[in-house]
Amino acid sequence: MSTTMMTPMPLETGYPLQPFPPLDGGLQKERPQAKTRKHFFIALVASFTALCLLLVLVFYGYVAWMLTYPYVAPLTSNPKAAAGLDYEDILFPSASGRTTVSGWYVPASYNDSDAVLASSNASSERTVIFSHGYGANREEDWVPMYDLTKLLHGLHYNVVLFDYGYASQKYKAPATAGIEESQQLLAAIHFAKSRGAEEIVVWGFSMGAGTALQAALQTNDIDAMILDSTFLATADTMFHNVTQFLPLPKFPSMPLIETMLPIWSGTNLKQVPINQILAKSFDIPLYIMHGTNDAKAPYQLAEQIAAEQTNPLSRSWIVPKGQHEMLFRASPTEYIQRAALFLGQVDQQFQAEADSGSDSSADTTQTL
């Protein structure tokens, strides 16, 4: 029996033994890729969130800009063309000196037959200053301004019509919720006095009525006011009007709009003296007119202001189903009768006080 010896085969050069790969080698290669994908996803979400926030800020910034610079149609006529009334173009700086005011001055009728309340054909010392509403200019045809101007002209009143800065085509200025507008109205009052006005009545509409109330807190040169559809610019009323065009949520809309308005207008809604107006008993007569269906300014606000008044000639007229600045359109005859009666009573009171003052001065002179 033979035995065969097996000789081991030598290892071939060039083929060294390789160690087994580590068990977690595949995981080590995947981890950097997983981290990269995770970082990319986080960056994508952050970028999308930042873009959304930016778009929100841009959107509300645009809304605030639109409120500050509302579109107002240019003037289409003038008192001569629209109502056959002679007029004068006027221009003067606001009381603050920051803006320029342009308007028209319509002198009173000098014909006794046309002047219902005139006692002579001398130039009138009575002037009505119209204070137009937001989004309109001095024409404000839906009121309508020319018809009222002609009425007052016949009643022997001078009339001042002017544009607030946001309505001016040539002297554009931002809307400031009545802060700078009250300075423009004060300048119109100063102009009327420079033309010999002794008795001045401000007739305001919407935000023009709210502006008149602000101006009355700053001067004693206003003798009476007619306030039609009074609008006071608060954060709530501004937001309420915005939502009539854009169905926006109250939060964050209201705080964002309120925050961004000063960027464009330079003024803050908190500067509007709302509480002072609502609690003020004005020394002068106020005729407060408002409609119960006013969708822009709640009539309860008008009632609140009226309730504080103590002047014996002050009164209010809350029109059932009346709409914002549409009280004349709804009842033109009654509107004119009420306004004319109020103006007549204010004039009688003014003349009585003037006569009493002159008599007192005469008595004092005789005593001396």
Per the structure, the count of domains in the chain is 1
Using CA atoms, how far apart are residues 107 and 191, in angstroms rounded to an integer?
Answer: 13
Using CA atoms, how far apart are residues 328 and 326, in angstroms rounded to an integer?
Answer: 6
Going 144 to 149 to 150 to 155, the CA torsion angle's sign is positive
**Residue 37, in any domain of the structure:** no
The confidence score (pLDDT) of residue 114 equals 44
Q: Terminal CA-to-CA distance of the chain, rounded, Å?
A: 171
| CATH code for position 168 | 3.40.50.1820
Helix (H, G, I), strand (E, B) or coil at 205: strand
**Residue 22, in any domain of the structure:** no
Domain that holds residue 149: 79-233+272-357
Q: Are 159 and 128 in contact (CB under 8 A)?
A: yes
**Residue 64, in any domain of the structure:** no
In 3-state terms the chain splits into helix, strand, coil percentages (rounded to 5) of 45, 15, 40
Strand partners, 93: 100
**Residue 68, in any domain of the structure:** no
The confidence score (pLDDT) of residue 113 equals 43
**Residue 345, in any domain of the structure:** yes
**Residue 367, in any domain of the structure:** no
Q: How many residues does the chain have?
A: 368
Helix (H, G, I), strand (E, B) or coil at 89: strand
Low-confidence ranges of the chain (pLDDT < 50): 1, 11, 27, 112-121, 368
**Residue 161, in any domain of the structure:** yes
**Residue 253, in any domain of the structure:** no
